[in-house]
Amino acid sequence: MAPLEPWEKVLVVQEDFLGDVHGQTQCIFCHGGVQDPDKETAHTGLVADPDSGETNICQNCHADTDHTFEASLHATQGGYWTALDARSAPEDHAALETMFGNHCASCHTTCGDCHISQPSSVGGGLIDGHVFEKTPSMTRNCTACHGSRVGNEYLGKNEGYASDVHFRAGRMKCSDCHTGDAMHDSSGVCTECHTTPEGGQPISKMDRYDGTQAPACESCHPQVGADGDEVLQHTLHGDKLSCQVCHSLSYSSCDGCHVAVSEKTGNPFFETQATYMTFFIGRNPDPSYHRPYEYVPVRHIPVDTQSYAYYGEDLLPNFDALPTWAYATPHNIQRITPQNESCNNCHGNTEIFLTSDKVKPEEVTANRDVIVPQVPAAR
Amino acid sequence: MRRYLAVACSLMVLYLAACRSEAAEGFTTEAPSPTAKTLPSAEPTANAIAEGDYCLGCHTDKEQLISTAKQEEEVEEESKGVG
């Protein structure tokens, strides 16, 4: 995404902005500062992002949304901490918090990062002359952060691989599946429609695959697997396979992201060792009521034992607690894929299953719950 | 009689008009000075706000923003690979 010029980032389109209800109040009500013709004086006490931290002005009118958003994964980045906590020991947390602040926290999302500006992680700047957009822009908000994997898959930017059918044929935007309710609330509001068994575990949503699937493919495709479904494969496989096992194309995996702070500039930076296209079916490491599948696609995530070595020795002593080939939901869905064209494109095809020979020796233990010991026999 | 009534009505109208003028002179036409938390009660037009608002006056003027914008320091990209 091309960066905006400094003036472009703060250019307000008067007619559009003042036509919005948010334009009915004075700028200094939200941004502080002083009404003065001199720039320096006017900017005294300026709050550029009035929707972040204790100054969050949005909650004055949007208290309900703001209340749930504060605890959502977009706001807390809780998914990162779920993984970091599992792989580390309590005594490592101080060093990891420093690492997190330097390298991960810039992806923390505020109200404005989705509804007014481009995210600060890509340089910020007003999207549309300070007009408040109820629905975020797919390319300037959503894939600005979720670009290298989801964005490239969905929009067909991985060379040789088609875009997702929902985009190509349906021109669907992220928000068509990922609703505002789900984006603003990770606590399990979805269970209002999708019931859990009596006594089922409460939805804690400590990562994006916790709890109810939201969105779920079946929400729009309820006929799949139901009585009368004419696609035999749906009935045969039932809940053994996640939808993506049959309907996604290859997707990118990454190896060894290492982070550090530059001695030269003092800026934090990262280096990813390799990025490559894969399609591997692995075992579901954590089957649940909502994701009962035996097999799911798995993607190699860019972590290794030395990822945070700059911040201390052996900061991930429990590295093997989680797989490095992680449950994935690729966003390049097709009706017909290489693996679903015939039974034996999958059955007996060792190339597309994550068997131990495809896992780095030092990561075999971490991936013990994901590695497929025996490929389903050919038909 | 009809002529008398016409004269009386005319005098009444003149008297009321004079009263209205005196009352109007008693009001101030100055708007209250704005404070940080003053919310406009009516829907203002674009021009009405911009004329008295230094923030919008500058931030809606592309040329002025270009001339006063601080150039952002070019940051050398030190990260490598896909983020």
pLDDT in tens, A281-305: 999 998 988 899 999 999 999 999 9
Residues of A with CB below 8 A from B43's CB?
A: 24
Six-digit token string for A357: 């020979």
Q: What is the pLDDT of residue A16?
A: 92
Exposure string over A211-245, b if 16+ CB within 10 A, otherwise e: bbbbebbeeeeeeebeeeeeeeebeebeeebbbbb
Task: For chain B, say whether A274 makes contact (Cβ under 8 Å).
Answer: yes
Q: Which of A162, A215, A187 is nearest to A337 (CA)?
A: A162
Residues of A with CB below 8 A from B76's CB?
A: 264-265
3-class DSSP assignment, residue A217: helix
**pLDDT tops 50 at residue A337:** yes
Other beta carbons within 10 angstroms of residue A122's beta carbon come to 18
Residues of A with CB below 8 A from B73's CB?
A: none
- The continuous run of DSSP H or E covering A255 comes out as strand A251-261
Six-digit token string for A369: 């719950």
First to last CA, chain A: 47
Mean pLDDT of A326-350: 97
- Amino acid occupying residue A176: D
Going by pLDDT thresholds of 50, 70 and 90, the confidence category of residue B7 is low
**pLDDT tops 90 at residue A22:** yes
**pLDDT tops 50 at residue B37:** no
Query: What pTM value is reported for the model?
Result: 0.83
Q: Which of A208, A204, A213 is nearest to A239 (CA)?
A: A213
Rounded Cα gap, residues A93 and A99, in angstroms? 10
Higher-pLDDT residue of A57, A121: A57
Six-digit token string for A13: 């389109």
Q: Do A272 and B82 touch (CB under 8 A)?
A: yes
Instruction: Kindly report whether the peptide bond that precedes residue A338 is cis, defined as omega within 30 degrees of 0.
Output: no
Q: Which residue in the set B40, B53, B78 is minimally distant from A269, CB to CB?
A: B78
Q: Do A270 and B79 touch (CB under 8 A)?
A: yes
Interval A165-206: pLDDT, tens = 999 999 999 999 999 988 888 765 445 444 455 455 544 457
3-class DSSP assignment, residue A219: helix
Task: For chain B, say whether A35 makes contact (Cβ under 8 Å).
Answer: yes
**pLDDT tops 70 at residue A66:** yes
The distance of A342 to chain B (nearest Cα, Å) reads 34
Rounded Cα gap, residues A248 and A280, in angstroms? 11
Q: Do A11 and B56 touch (CB under 8 A)?
A: no
Rounded Cα gap, residues B50 and B70, in angstroms? 23
CA atoms within 13 A on the CB side of A334: 17
Partner B, chain A 137-156, Cβ-Cβ below 8 Å = 148
The distance of B61 to chain A (nearest Cα, Å) reads 7
Q: What is the pLDDT of residue A292?
A: 93
Q: What is the pLDDT of residue B74?
A: 80
Mean pLDDT of B4-11: 59
Mean pLDDT of A318-342: 97
Cβ distance A20 to A81 under 8 Å?
A: no
Q: What is the pLDDT of residue B36?
A: 38
CA distances from A226 to A231, A233, A240, A342 (A): 10, 12, 15, 22
Rounded Cα gap, residues A111 and B50, in angstroms? 26
**pLDDT tops 90 at residue A153:** yes
Interval A223-271: pLDDT, tens = 998 999 999 999 999 899 999 999 999 999 999 999 999 999 999 999 9
Q: What is the pLDDT of residue B77?
A: 87
Cβ distance A109 to A69 under 8 Å?
A: no
Would you say how long chain A is, in residues? 379
